[in-house]
Amino acid sequence: MIIDHIRNREKYYFLGEGYQKALDYFAGVPGVPFEKADIRIDGGRILIKARPMTSRPIEECSFEAHRLYADIHFVAYGVEKIGYADVSALQALSYDETKDVSALKGDGDLLTLRAGYFMIVLADDAHMPCVCGEAGPVPLGKMIAKIKL
């Protein structure tokens, strides 16, 4: 798992061209509200899910992980808490092969992502997105890039 500000994206270009293209795309996203969309870049090889949403209480959120794709979570506007745990520390509930998503249960750490920050999660990185902070639910502009592992 990696968390950093988008201005430091060049440090992570070594991860590969897909990561570079997704991070560069995020760097050009204005911090203003946007519509829900699925965006394809790099000749369609990278899917970016643009998701305006409202953060939720932790009781309404759950851990997930992916086997085939890495995620890059980017906060364009707003703030979210995102849970993190190693997959091996959680109880596996199910795996949906068509969506490449494992549902997991257990405890982890809550990290804060503010506007302009990204988080890269790999196959062993369970994550619980969209958790609200102490101030309660807030509008959140999230983009998630799917990078083939």
149/71 Cα distance (integer angstroms): 10
Specify the pLDDT at position 31: 86
Residue with tokens 């808490």: 81
Predicted structure pTM score? 0.95
Specify the pLDDT at position 51: 96
- Other Cβ atoms less than 10 A from the Cβ of 136: the count is 10
HSE of 43, CA atoms in CB hemisphere, 13 A: 2
Task: Return the bridge partners of 128, or none.
Answer: 83
pLDDT in tens, 96-147: 999 999 999 999 999 999 999 999 999 999 999 999 988 899 999 999 999 9
Specify the pLDDT at position 6: 98
pLDDT in tens, 61-91: 999 999 999 999 999 999 999 999 999 999 9
CATH numbers and ranges of domains, the chain: 2-32+46-148 (2.60.120.370)
Which residue, 83, 122, 124, is CA-closest to 106? Answer: 83
79/83 Cα distance (integer angstroms): 13
pLDDT in tens, 10-51: 999 999 999 999 999 999 999 888 999 999 999 889 999 999
